[in-house]
Structure 1
């Protein structure tokens, strides 16, 4: 189905919707428009991320574990991780 045919199909479907469902479709389309990625040209203007050379610099982000599911989380990681393929 080409773009023109798809647009005709969608237009036909929209004509058959109730006002309530049409409002839902409009909200959905609004959310799609809001989620459009920014243009690559605007991304090129951003300064590069500064990356440190050691993991020591990440310690400032380290905290303590809060909760009682640490063991469960560790088991989940061990069960679902895959071997490295080089």
Structure 2
């Protein structure tokens, strides 16, 4: 996997960011559930994700690249 290569494709970058956010949700369901109890849940979740953003971007980029190497693609459902 070559997650160190920069990707200048804005659609791919958006998919990786959204995928990273989904991965954050999946791995931190307990934290997200607690944040959802607050008045400003979306802001709390976004702030927590921002604290771990680079980790989840890297993790999802690795998954994204690995899938691409296998001939699979990540797409956005419409």
Higher helix fraction: Structure 1 or Structure 2? 2
The answer to which structure, 1 or 2, has the higher relative contact order (CA under 8 A, 6+ apart) is 2
TM-score by shorter chain over 0.5: no
Normalised by the size of structure 2, how large is the TM-score? 0.31
- TM-score, structure 1 as length reference: 0.29
